Amino acid sequence: MERHEDIALMAHLMRRAGFGADRDELERLVDQGYEETVEQLVNPTDDIPPADDLLLYRYIPATETGGPNPMPGAANWLYNMVNTHRHLEEKTTLFWHQVFATGNSKVDNDNHLTAQVQMFRKHGMGNYRDLLIRVAQNPAMIFWLDNNENHKRAPNENWGRELLELFSLGVGNYTEEDVFECARAFTGWTINAKIPRQPYHRFSWSYTFRPEEHDFGQKTFLGHTGNFDGEDIIDIILQQPACARFVTRHLYNFFVADEAQVPAWDIEPPRDPDAIDYLSKIFVDSGFELKPVLKAIFLSDFFKEAMYQKVKSPAEVVVGTLRLTGDMKGPDKRLMEMGQQTNYMGQSLHDPPSVEGWQTGRDWINSGSVVKRINFVADHVSNPDLPGVQSIVRRVAKNGAQITPDALVDRCVELIGPLEISDDTRGELLAHAEDEGPISYATDVEYAELSRRVGDMLALIAATVEYQFG
């Protein structure tokens, strides 16, 4: 039983700090140890490979294109999520896309969305101050929040406001005057556009500072007065106690358990105030480094006790299923279509509904998305041609030549999760298994029948309420 608990905890860690792992990997990681695994996730050494983008571009060159269409970029990212071995790096990338939500619906220049995602991949587990500056100077973000329209004589507050409201402090921790002064400090942080080489292609952007557009005058921001520029503003933001609390609450919401929706955070207290206190202190003490906070999360009791306390996002459903079943490894030809699956479930990568990102938790679920989720998972886990499914069938069939309905249910629930299910749910699964009688697998014909029945059972489990949580 100890083994079961170790596996369950490791599966929880890999679902949250990554996109799940198959049973072979879970067993290997349990042998390696929990703390060692956390260390490897947080500080992946250079020999742990990311997905091979060059291989992708060699076989599916369209995933390098962009412009108005976010689909190639979504496919590109899906490939990375499915194929990387640097799990937490990729998951943190998704985290920042949710926080610094930027959409190609307006950016209309998808290569720059991909560049932003790559920036998150490279720097997302580094220093938060450094990251904020990179975001402030990111061409897609500058265009998305109109900072290219933020001029000395005609300030545009869009970036200044969202920096405070959504990216660092949260509503209630600044005044309208602070928004205006913040915007002034970022005047002149803009983009250069290089003329495209082909008709209908998009301009290639790069960050540039234009002194003639910058307001060098005195500003008063959050009680400080001086001739501030954007970096000074970010330093003042970091001094606010609200900042560390806001960022760690985001981390808690993404990695630990579903919180209220972000706009309600100035009204609703955190789900676990002690956890936020604890993580904020680590964040501040480390000089706003993300790795110590991530490590503290995964080693904490509140994390270990939060199994299945989050509704899986569409990206987690799709990538988790592909990883479990061993589908879509490498530059698969179906990548473009597969990259749209999260969109069908309500999460269009590169195209969040607004700068507030997606509404998460129960809001992932509606009667349309539920059909897509269940069918996608069920079609995969019941496909006996997929290597991950074959591996599950082999494990179900180990020891002996037959299996009781009871054991079939238990093994399937164990191998797809391990999942925690209610007695009622288990009752239904068992009744289904019993309907079809005992199962032996002494012959090839019987083994094929077992495959089918395991597939059906996994599909049934995929449809349970419990399986929608990760």
Q: Provide φ and ψ at 66, rounded to 5°.
A: -155, -110
194 three-class SS: strand
Please identify, among the stretches 2-10, 24-32, 122-130, 418-426, the one whose residues bind other proteins according to the rule CB under 8 A: 418-426
Read off the DSSP letter of residue 419: P
Please identify, among the stretches 72-80, 204-212, 405-413, 454-462, the one whose residues bind other proteins according to the rule CB under 8 A: 454-462
Quick one: which of 3, 435, 437, 445 contacts other proteins (CB under 8 A)? 435
Site for other proteins in 52-71 (CB under 8 A): 68, 70
Identify which of 420, 446, 426 has the alpha carbon closest to the alpha carbon of residue 8. 420
Identify which of 398, 406, 400, 395 has the alpha carbon closest to the alpha carbon of residue 437. 406
Q: What is the dihedral of CA 431, 432, 433, 436, to 10 degrees?
A: 110
What are 437's two structure tokens?
Answer: 């009688």
Angle ∠(463,467,470) on CA atoms, nearest 5: 150
Residue 417 binds other proteins (CB under 8 A): no
Instruction: Decide if 335 contacts 63 (C-beta within 8 A).
Output: yes
Please identify, among the stretches 24-32, 290-298, 401-409, 425-433, the one whose residues bind other proteins according to the rule CB under 8 A: 425-433
Q: What is the dihedral of CA 138, 143, 149, 155, to 10 degrees?
A: -60
Cβ 289 to other proteins shortest distance, Å: 32
Residue 361 binds other proteins (CB under 8 A): yes
DSSP strand pairing (224-226 vs 402-403): unpaired
Quick one: which of 81, 276, 412, 460 contacts other proteins (CB under 8 A)? 460
DSSP assignment of 273-324, as one string?
HHHHHHHHHHHHHTTSBHHHHHHHHHHSHHHHT-TT-SBPPHHHHHHHHHHH
Site for other proteins in 309-328 (CB under 8 A): 311
Quick one: which of 193, 370, 390, 446 contacts other proteins (CB under 8 A)? 370
Please identify, among the stretches 6-14, 167-175, 183-191, 372-380, the one whose residues bind other proteins according to the rule CB under 8 A: 372-380
Quick one: which of 74, 355, 386, 412 contacts other proteins (CB under 8 A)? 355
Residue 268 binds other proteins (CB under 8 A): no
Residue 365 binds other proteins (CB under 8 A): yes
Residue 2 binds other proteins (CB under 8 A): no
Quick one: which of 116, 168, 325, 425 contacts other proteins (CB under 8 A)? 425
Report the half-sphere exposure of 282 (CA within 13 A, side-chain side).
17
Binding mask 94-123 for other proteins (x = CB under 8 A): ---------xxxx-x---------------
Instruction: Decide if 358 contacts 302 (C-beta within 8 A).
Output: no
Read off the DSSP letter of residue 18: S
Read off the DSSP letter of residue 193: E
220 three-class SS: strand
Cβ 258 to other proteins shortest distance, Å: 8
How many Å apart are CA 91 and CA 81, to the nearest integer? 8
Binding mask 271-310 for other proteins (x = CB under 8 A): ----------------------------------------
Site for other proteins in 185-204 (CB under 8 A): 200
Please work out the total of residues on this chain that contact other proteins, with binding judged by CB under 8 A.
Answer: 51
Please identify, among the stretches 83-91, 166-174, 243-251, 369-377, the one whose residues bind other proteins according to the rule CB under 8 A: 369-377
Binding residues for other proteins, rule: CB under 8 A, are 68, 70, 103-106, 108, 200, 258, 311, 340, 343-344, 346, 348, 351, 353-356, 359, 361-363, 365-368, 370-372, 374-375, 378-379, 382, 422, 424-425, 428-429, 431-432, 435, 456, 459-460, 463-465, 468
